[in-house]
Amino acid sequence: MQTPPMIGKNIQRIRTARKLTLNVLSERSGVSKAMLSQIESDKVNPTVATVWKIAKGLNVELNDLLEGVDEPTRVFSLNPASDDGSKLEKRKDGITIKILSPLSSVEELEMYLLTFDPDSTLQSEPHIEGSQEYLTVVKGSVDVRAGENSAHLKTGDFLMYHADIEHSISNQSSKEAVVHMVVRFHSENR
């Protein structure tokens, strides 16, 4: 039985529109490059589980691949604040870590609001290979170290660095500091 032509064509259309190679989509979806090629050329009938993996790899809804839609569904996802602040915040060694991103984005993209008491440091072990952190100082000043590199940041400064090595953020001043941090987990091979 042949794949309905729209599934293979929808996958190919979305993949090429996003400038993704079969190799990249294979890595992201866990579906082999050979299978992806066969699906796109309508030579095989994939299981729903396989189509779901491909949809996840393309970051689209399953229906975007099953239906003959022209445009993928756009994401509009609200992560409401919790009534119980303890679920979103934790305090450790003079640092309040407020998690801003939803649990569904863990290990892809995480966002935090960090509040540092005077003379406090957040020491971090290396994240997975290729991970990066993006910091914007909202208030005060901090010192950031990533491997052999270091920088002093003040209000409004932005810093991007690889976080797959030991790294730290510290407030060595006598005033509170607030930092917005985005952690992006990805492989450099993608």
Strand partners of residue 116: 95, 177
What residue ranges define each of the domains in the chain, with the CATH number in brackets? Answer: 5-66 (1.10.260.40), 85-184 (2.60.120.10)
pLDDT tens for residues 128-142?
888 999 999 999 999
- Rounded to the nearest 5 degrees, what angle is found at the Cα of 115, between the Cα atoms of 181 and 175? 125
In the predicted structure, residue 100 carries a pLDDT above the cut 80: yes
- What is the spatial distance between Cα 77 and Cα 58, in angstroms, rounded to a whole number? 17
pLDDT tens for residues 19-62?
889 999 999 999 999 999 999 988 888 888 898 899 889 988 88
Q: What is the pLDDT of residue 179?
A: 97
Q: What is the pLDDT of residue 189?
A: 41
Q: What is the pLDDT of residue 3?
A: 44
